[in-house]
A = this chain, B = another copy of it.
Amino acid sequence: MSPKITTELLKQLRQVMKSPKYVQEPIQAYIVPSGDAHQSEYIAPCDCRRAFISGFDGSAGTAIVTEQHAAMWTDGRYFLQAAHQMDNNWILMKMGLKDTPTQEDWLVSVLPEGSKVGVDPFIIPADQWKRMSKALRSAGHDLVPVNENLIDTIWTDCPQRPCKPLITLDLSYTGVSWRDKIVALRSKMAERKVLWFVVTALDEVAWLFNLRGSDVEYNPVFFAYAVIGMNTIRLFIDGDRMMDPAVREHLQLDCTVEPEFKIQVMPYGSILSELQAVGAGLSPKERVWLSDKASYALTEAIPKAYRYLTPYTPICIAKAVKNASETEGMRRAHIKDAVALCELFNWLEKEVPKGTVTEIIAADKAEEFRSQQKDFVELSFATISSTGPNGAIIHYKPVPETNRTLSVNEIYLLDSGAQYKDGTTDVTRTMHFGTPSAYEKECFTYVLKGHIAVSAAIFPNGTKGHLLDSFARSALWDCGLDYLHGTGHGVGSFLNVHEGPCGISYKTFADEPLEAGMIVSDEPGYYEDGSFGIRIENVVLVIPAETKYNFKNRGSLTFEPLTLVPIQTKMIDVNLLTQKECDWVNDYHQKCREVIGAELERQGRHEALRWLIQETEPLSRVQ
């Protein structure tokens, strides 16, 4: 992978940073955040402005270009990838390391006195604007909105914003109708005494209306906003997709409905002016609810006194707790996904020794097997198919320049998942197709111990996920090892593979307490730069736990793995496991054998079934 040469682009950007055509006064720095106008993690090609200007296309990163410097902040998952993709014009700011300055501190250290720092107000979330603006102001600088996106002005071949057809989801998938979701939302609005709710996140719009799209790769969402009043529903969406009779029927656009369920469809681009009109028409005490991560531009449309901002919206919280239909769908999706992976791993065991399977071929094969399953829609993220040293690049995606051939001498890490109409999957398995070294087995076993410690943890109702993070690290810490990423993220139901408001991370963020029905990933790892990467990831469902006692009647929770794919026992040093851990592995494999075995049988996939049986042989500890 050779880095993108950005000298000319940076020169052009620095020119428009001074051009009166775009800025009232010259700006001395320009911030290029990662997201789009909806603060999405995965974005459409037209929104990949940070990748365009820097070459770094990981899912998280913020670029800042000043007159002299260009710097990129990203986290531990992307240190190696960013270093590979960026040329010498760029300084890599490794977030999470002790000596890495924050964006604010760095700006203050490099800017000349009284500088102006520009940013697209549609892209920067209001909470980030506030923090950045305050820090800059206290050092004598100003954060200013630049309404025309400066990257777009120099991006001559910028692709069009996508506008693909919609999918309607019926009750058998969603469990709750969109009308009932609106009723529940309005009741939350009444509780907080707000009159309007602005839906800005794409997955929240999709969830609320039981619609899905394909405007953004991997995430079944579509570009739209919604503004929900106590008696009105406005949906801001472009294109002729609203002419689709199925969509019109689903949304009851052509029927006579009670006025409070009548959906007004408006152009996507009219959200700002409509919201400004809402803002202008408010009487005292009439409040408008927005996420504090909504864009600065939309937030500013509502006068400050009328804003009600929360870190998580009621939709985000309701969406995280899956109902019975969604949970059953997720189970079905994970069974199908496991069938595809059993086929893949069986195939790899045969093919890898021949020396003809590359990372790209393996990834394509995984997609092929998944696409054979019912209700398959697309992948849920770019497959991480990595062998040997590539495994240490945490969010690696094989490209021809880096494509490595799988062999019996290297560890292979596959982190992959799919969108099925009934659910979203995300699973990582680390395999060796020859004989792993004692050290590789040792590291794998520590990671497994961490995975089990989270998966089997019992904790009180109301516990926040971040309190479980150290369980995943304890075995690694004991021998001086660690990994530089969080342990788990929320997973959507045929929606984004990463979703809030819960997670498992050492970073203290405002996570909501875990509750039964939430779904998160459990994915500790260990990475040695230049050598190998290990990660073991299951998607797990939060369920009530039976405990001997029940302190203060609070009740307890634990996790049930939805992912049912064998964990390669060849990689386990059984003598490093406790009996309890050993039992966990055996119970897990027994369940894989029963549930996935039955489905492989049903689908007539006998060879993969034989592989599954062999891979789920019970472990036993030397006494």
Contact = CB atoms under 8 A, between A and B. Distances in A.
Interface of A: 98, 138, 305, 457-460, 462, 466-471, 474, 476-482, 506, 508, 545, 547-552, 554, 556, 578
A548 B470 contact: no
B554 A479 contact: no
Given A457-B477, A458-B477, A477-B457, A554 B470 contact: no
A480 B457 CA distance: 11
Contacts of A508: 466, 508
A550 B471 contact: no
A464 to B, nearest CB: 8
A477 B460 contact: yes
A460 B482 contact: yes
A257 to B, nearest CB: 36
Contacts of A462: 98
Nearest to A471: B470
A478 B557 CA distance: 10
A578 to B, nearest CB: 8
A479 B98 contact: no
Nearest to A550: B480
Contacts of A138: 305
A576 B305 CA distance: 58
B98 A480 contact: no
Contacts of A98: 462
Contacts of A554: 482
Contact of A549 (B458, B468, B480, B578): B480
Nearest to A478: B458
Contacts of A469: 467
A462 B460 CA distance: 28
18 contacts: A138-B305, A458-B477, A458-B480, A459-B477, A460-B480, A466-B508, A467-B469, A470-B471, A471-B474, A476-B551, A477-B556, A479-B548, A479-B549, A480-B556, A481-B549, A482-B552, A482-B554, A508-B508
Contacts of A305: 138
A177 B457 CA distance: 49
A482 B552 CA distance: 9
Nearest to A554: B482
A590 B504 CA distance: 39
A480 B481 CA distance: 31
A138 B458 CA distance: 40
Contacts of A556: 477, 480
A552 B79 CA distance: 13
A552 B482 CA distance: 9
A545 B305 CA distance: 53
B466 A468 contact: no
Contacts of A476: 551
Contacts of A506: 467
A466 B470 CA distance: 10
Q: Counting chain B CB atoms within 10 Å of each CB, which of A480, A552, A578 scores highest? A: A480
Nearest to A456: B478
Contacts of A468: 470
A163 to B, nearest CB: 39
A239 to B, nearest CB: 39
A538 B187 CA distance: 50
A547 B446 CA distance: 14
B478 A547 contact: yes
A-B pairs with lowest CB-CB distance, top 10: A480-B547, A479-B548, A480-B549, A508-B508, A481-B551, A480-B550, A467-B470, A482-B551, A459-B477, A458-B478
Contacts of A480: 458, 460, 545, 547-551, 556
Nearest to A469: B467
Contacts of A459: 470, 477
A478 B556 CA distance: 9
Nearest to A549: B480
A459 to B, nearest CB: 5
A480 B476 CA distance: 27
A503 to B, nearest CB: 14
Contacts of A466: 508
A480 B557 CA distance: 9
A554 B551 CA distance: 39
A290 to B, nearest CB: 14
A477 to B, nearest CB: 5
A138 B303 CA distance: 12
A607 to B, nearest CB: 40
Contacts of A457: 474, 477
A559 to B, nearest CB: 13
Nearest to A305: B138
Contact of A470 (B470, B477, B478, B481): B470
